[in-house]
Chains A and B, each alone.
Chain A
Amino acid sequence: MSSHYEAPIRKPLVIGDKNFHDVTVDVAAPVEGRANKQWWIVFSIALAAFLWGVGCVAYTVGTGIGTWGSNKTVGWAWDITNFVWWVGIGHAGTLISAVLLLFRQKWRMAINRSAEAMTIFSVIQAAMFPVFHMGRPWLAYWVMPVPNQFGSLWVNFNSPLLWDVFAISTYLSVSLVFWWTGLLPDFAMLRDRAVTPFTKRVYSIVSFGWSGRAKDWQRFEEVSLVLAGLATPLVLSVHTIVSFDFATSVIPGWHTTILPPYFVAGAIFSGFAMVNTLLIIMRKVSNLEAYITIQHIELMNIIIMITGSIVGTAYITELFIAWYSGVEYEQYAFLNRATGPYWWSYLLMMTCNVVSPQVMWSKKIRTSIMASFIISIVVNIGMWFERFVIIVTSLHRDYLPSSWTMFQPTFVDAGFFIGTIGFFFVLFLLYSRSFPVIAQAEVKSIMKTSSEKYKKLRDQEGHNNHSHSDNH
């Protein structure tokens, strides 16, 4: 151990007097214990919201899209806004588990499991919108290029909406595999600790007979690295493709080449904000403050600050280019955003996305849990409005003034959105009580380098080595 060198500037990632067994016990505790009253209350609320959403979707599919507030001019409104919002939120999970793995960021280990779960649950929410915003969702399978009896009638591969299908389905499946692979050692841990035959059986099935041999671990690491390498371009391309829905159009306000990186930056921005929201609560209710430390929150805040600044730069770039282009439609699109009937949503978006991340420059704010929590929610409100502004303000006033109109959502629009939020939390709450929410196998791998206890031990030993070098 004394041969290990770690810069003393690095703060411990696992705080408190924790040994390997403590990690196991702390991670397994929420799974092995029983849900308390608060959990049931929150779960019931989420379930009610989910069921309300199911009702709204059933009403939409049964009655027609006309139950929504979309109209002939504004054909996309809350449906696609929510779709892009949920997909964006999902991106942070892959960012944390893949990109931060490639950059060897040890602090990701305490948060990657929940971030990945958040990815999967939010991509599921996102995937519902492309299906249920269809006029005829029962023919949704026609988007798949399957041989058929219509003379093998094929799909047109030129549409970004088709690329969305491939992007989202690939993204969901790769994320799921990546997540589940990482879960195997942790499920095996739960299996080995299980006391009831039922939990033993369940965790035996989901852990796929993981026995933790050297060869298994070696391949596990390789698979993780390869999947991280694959997931990184995937995560960038998925939101790029989502942005192509707009960027490849001819609508002033949509047709911009900045959209792909700007959407990706916005996705990371909103996704990290969501991770922060969830983990700030989770570390408290699941007693994981020793693993999800203030340092984790601070680092996520820094990423929020950086990506928020990228988004802010993109806003300014768009405004500059609109002015610089000399295209009156483009100029009007941005004038309309700022001063048109939806000025309030533009103002809200600007305030939430440009101003709120900038307060993170203050160490006092970014290391404050309460401030981080509030800002993380503000960011997600702002990012929802970003998508709303891009979609609705560009559509409701474009080339022909005779087609100018307004958009007014109905309760069904809202109900569907509330339903997805409910569904997300139903899944996340169930996850947090049945899955190991921290990748304990990974955290154990950094215990000796980065936990407070071992850092102290090493320091002592280091001092001892200087004085009594014959100890070895």
Chain B
Amino acid sequence: MKALYKIALLACVSAVATSCFDKSRPNYQYFPNMYEPVPYETYSEVPTFANGKEGQLPAEGSIPRGFTPYEYENSTEGYELAKANSVSPLDSAEVDLPRAEQLFTIYCAVCHGDKGDGKGNLVKREKFLGVPNYKDRQITEGSVFHVVTYGLNSMGSHANQLSQEERWQVAHYVMKLRSEL
């Protein structure tokens, strides 16, 4: 009987000790000395800036080290010029098709399809339609780079997801897919 009381007491104590924990909110902390950052963390909310965001836009026209500005503008003329004149800065040794395939699979294949035939998953499920087959379009690696950078019609810009070098890799891979269709 005494043991039963002890077990009941233990159960009560543990119930009391854990009952204050609410799963819908962060748990209680014991002396959170260095839990909250003193400096601004990336993506954090910052009251000192006007829009409250930590990520502020750089000054227009500034060029970070290791970055080359893309000189074709986002317009039909720009597209035509890029298609005609823009060439990949990567030489044959720098083109890394296995990595380009991975990038393509991640960022492009969901619409364009693994083969570039316009039969991606979203198209198959008819989430939206009108994705062209690469072989139906007259494209160059310069125009692919231009479109990935700025987007075209329904396609959005992928400059956020892919660096310049990665976009050139993808352009090379697209041209390879097109040659196989």
Q: Is B31 an interface residue (CB 8 A)?
A: yes
Question: Residue A136 at the B interface, CB < 8 A?
Answer: yes
Q: Which residues from B are CB-within-8-Å of A139?
A: 31
* Per-residue interface assignment for chain B, residues 1 to 44, with 1 indicating a CB less than 8 Å from any chain A CB and 0 otherwise: 00000000000000000000000000000010100000000000
Measured between alpha carbons, how far is A292 from B79 in the docked complex, in Å?
108
Closest B-chain residue to A138, C-beta based? Answer: B31
Interface size on A, residues (CB 8 A): 3
Closest to B31 in A: A138
User: What's the nearest-Cβ distance from chain B to residue A204, in Å?
Assistant: 24
Main SS class of interface, B = loop
Total interface residues in chain B, CB < 8 Å: 2
A138 to B33: give the CA distance in the assembly, Å: 11
B33 partner residues in chain A, CB cutoff 8 A: 136
Q: Which residue of A lies closest to B33 (CB)?
A: A136
Bound CA span A139–B31, Å = 9
Contacts of A136 in B (CB 8 A): 31, 33
Complex Cα gap A174–B91 (Å): 80
Q: Complex: how many Å from CA A138 to CA B29?
A: 13
- Closest Cβ–Cβ distance, residue B123 to chain A (whole Å): 48
Q: Distance in Å from the Cβ of B31 to the closest Cβ of chain A?
A: 5
In the complex, per-residue mask of B127-144: 1 if CB is within 8 Å of any chain A CB, else 0: 000000000000000000
**Cβ proximity bits A315-347 to B, threshold 8 Å, 1 near / 0 not:** 000000000000000000000000000000000
Q: How far is the CA of A136 from the CA of B33 in the complex (A)?
A: 10
- Please give the distance in Å from B18's CB to the nearest CB on chain A: 15
Least CB separation from B30: chain A residue: A138
- Shortest distance between the CB of B140 and any CB in chain A (Å): 55
Q: Which of A399-418 contact B (CB under 8 A)?
A: none
Contacting residues, chain B, for A138 (C-beta < 8 A): 31
In the complex, chain A residues whose CB is within 8 Å of the CB of B31: 136, 138-139
Q: Report Cα–Cα, A136/B31, bound state, in Å.
A: 10
State how many angstroms separate the Cβ of B21 from the closest Cβ of chain A: 15
- Complex: how many Å from CA A138 to CA B31? 8
With CB as the reference atom, state the residue of chain B lying closest to A139: B31
Taking the nearest CB of chain A, how far is it from the CB of B30, in angstroms? 8
User: In the complex, what's the smallest C-beta–C-beta distance from A132 to chain B, in angstroms?
Assistant: 16
A16 vs B31: C-alpha distance in the bound complex, in angstroms? 62
Q: Whose C-beta in chain B lies nearest to the C-beta of A136? A: B33
How near does chain A come to B59, taking the closest CB pair, in angstroms?
A: 41
Q: How far is the CA of A139 from the CA of B33 in the complex (A)?
A: 11
State how many angstroms separate the Cβ of B129 from the closest Cβ of chain A: 53
* Contacts of B25-67 to chain A: CB distance below 8 A: 31, 33
| A181–B33 alpha-carbon span in the complex (Å) | 44
The interface bits of chain A over 421-461 (1 if a CB of B lies within 8 angstroms of the residue's CB, else 0) are 00000000000000000000000000000000000000000
B153 to chain A, nearest CB (A): 53
Q: Closest approach, in angstroms, between the C-beta of B108 and any C-beta of chain A?
A: 41
A63, chain B: closest CB distance, angstroms: 15
A-B contact pairs, 4 of them (CB 8 A): A136-B31, A136-B33, A138-B31, A139-B31
- Chain A positions near chain B (C-beta within 8 angstroms): 136, 138-139
Which 3 pairs, one residue from A and one from B, show the smallest C-beta to C-beta distance? A138-B31, A136-B33, A139-B31
